[in-house]
Structure 1
Amino acid sequence: MEAKILTFVQAQWPLLLAAVALIIMIFKGPLTRKAAGISEVDAKTAVQLINHEEAVVIDVREQKEWAQGHLPGARHIPLGDLPKYMKDLEKHRGHHVICQCASGMRSARAAASLKKAGFDKIYSLKGGISAWRGAGLPVEK
C-alpha cells in the first residue's frame, strides 16, 4: 500500500503541488485581510455607509470590467494605478472608503494599501460587484 502511495505521489507531484497552492490561496485571502486590519462589508452594510456616512466607493477593476457596470457614484481607479492617486485620495482620509472589485480579492489589496497610507475607515466589499448584483442592487454604466 505504501509503495502505491509513493508511486502515485511521484507520478502526480505537479497535480498535488497545484492542489496545495490552491488551498493556500483560498485561505490566504481572509487571513491576509484580518492580519492587515481590513474590514469586509456586505452589500447591505455598504449601502448604509454610502447613504448615511457618505462613504466613497473606489472600484479597482480594469477598464473593461468597469464599462460593464459599476456601483452608482463609484470612482474608478484600477488597482495598478492606485499609487498614482494616493495624493488625490487624501481629501477622503476622514471618510469611510469602500474598495470594490469583481469578487473581493483586489479590493482587499487596495484597502490594505490605503490602510498602510494612513486611512482609518477602510472596507473591502465582500464578494465584490458579484455580491452587489446578487443582492439586487443597481449598477450604472
Structure 2
Amino acid sequence: MEFFVFISEQWVLVSVLLILIYLFAINERIKSGRPLSVHAVTRMINADEALLLDIRDSKEFKAGHIAGAVNIPQTKLSDKLAELDEHREKFIIIADKVGQNAGAAGRRLRQNGFKVFRLTGGMMEWQSQQLPVVKS
C-alpha cells in the first residue's frame, strides 16, 4: 500500500526514472546495431551494400542459410574479425537463429569499427516469410 502512496506523491520522480530506463534500453539496442526487416535486408544485399554475417554454428548454417552469407559462429567471432576487414566499406548485417544473440556480436563488431545492422527475428523470421535458403 505504501508503494502506491509513494508513486502518487512522487509521480514526477517515478516518471523521470521510467523515461531514463527507456532511453537506456534504446541506447543499448542501438549500440548493437539497428534492427532491419527481412525486406530491407534483401534490398541491401541485392544492391551489394551489405555483407550478411551468419553467426549460428556451422551445423545450423549448413542446414539452411541465406545465399551469399558468410558463416562465422559467434563463439569464434573475436578470433576471426580479420576475415571481415575486406568488407569494412559495406554494412555488416548479422543473422542468428531468432535474433537474440545478434546484439552481443553487433556490439563487438561496432567496437572494431564496422557499420552494423541486425536481421530482426533472425533466420526464423526469414524462413517464416518463406524467403529462400541455400543448403550446403
Q: Does 1:138 align with 2:132?
A: yes
Structure 2 residues not aligned, in runs of 5+: 1-23
Structure 1 residues not aligned, in runs of 5+: 1-27
Q: How far apart, CA to CA, are the structure 2 residues paired with 1:29 and 1:47?
A: 27
Of residues 69, 77, 86 in structure 2, which corresponds to 1:74? 69
Q: Secondary structure at the match of 1:94?
A: coil
What TM-score, normalized by structure 1, do the two folds share? 0.73
Q: Secondary structure at the match of 1:56?
A: strand
Q: Secondary structure at the match of 2:67?
A: coil
Counterparts of residues 1-141 of structure 1 (less than 5 Å): 32-34=28-30, 36=31, 38-120=33-115, 122-141=116-135
Q: Displacement of 1:37 after TM fit?
A: 5.4
One-letter amino acid of the counterpart of residue 83, structure 1: S
Q: How far apart, CA to CA, are the structure 1 residues paired with 2:121 and 2:39?
A: 12
Q: How far apart, CA to CA, are the structure 1 residues paired with 2:100 and 2:66?
A: 17
| Percentage of pairs with the same residue | 29
Alignment coverage as a number of residue pairs: 112
Structure 1 outlier segments of 4+, above 6 Å: 28-31
Larger helix share, 1 or 2: 1
Q: How far apart, CA to CA, are the structure 1 residues paired with 2:57 and 2:121?
A: 17
Q: Cα 1:37–1:109, aligned 2, differ >3 Å: closer, same or farther?
A: closer
